[in-house]
Amino acid sequence: MAYPGNGAAAYRQMAARGGIEDASPHRLIAMLLEGAIARLARARGHMERGETAPKGQAISLVIEIIGELNGSLDHARGAAVSRSLASLYDYMTRRLLHANLANDLVALDEVTTLFREIREGWSAIAPDAPAIGLR
């Protein structure tokens, strides 16, 4: 939330909202993937510094992003792809829960690698291609 007198924060909030409102479905997924990777990097830093609460908050945000990605799957149109992604998202969520509870950098890095691979594959898809497996 922007506070009076904090123009920079208000601008960032409006820019972010505008980016979302104007984004294509392809771009929205790309933004979610980028957001997850950025929050995983923050979670890693918090974990390394022993900052429990901010680490947990960053990981929780990534889990929420996974929920959004999972919710975007269209099991009727791309059953095989959407089933595979749903299974991967479930695995990633379980690894993040473990990473949070056990302060496991290896698990956190594993999920980061998976997100990077998904982002790379998503980036290779043309933005105007039919979204098989997505709503």
**Cα-flanking dihedrals φ and ψ of residue 134, to 5°?**
-125, 150
Average pLDDT over residues 65-86: 92
* Domains along the chain with CATH numbers: 25-124 (1.20.120.340)
Torsion of CA 17, 21, 26, 27, to 10 degrees: -30
Q: pLDDT at position 132, please?
A: 52
How big is the chain, counted in residues? 135
Model confidence at 8, pLDDT cuts 50, 70, 90, reads very low
Q: Report the distance separating Cα 89 and Cα 36, nearest Å.
A: 12
Q: pLDDT at position 74, please?
A: 87
Buried b (16+ CB within 10 A) or exposed e, 36-65: bbebbebbbebbeeeeeeebeebbebbbeb
Tens of pLDDT along 23-40?
Answer: 788 889 999 999 999 999
Tens of pLDDT along 87-134?
Answer: 999 999 999 999 999 999 999 999 999 999 999 999 998 776 655 555
Percent of the chain's residues with pLDDT above 70: 79
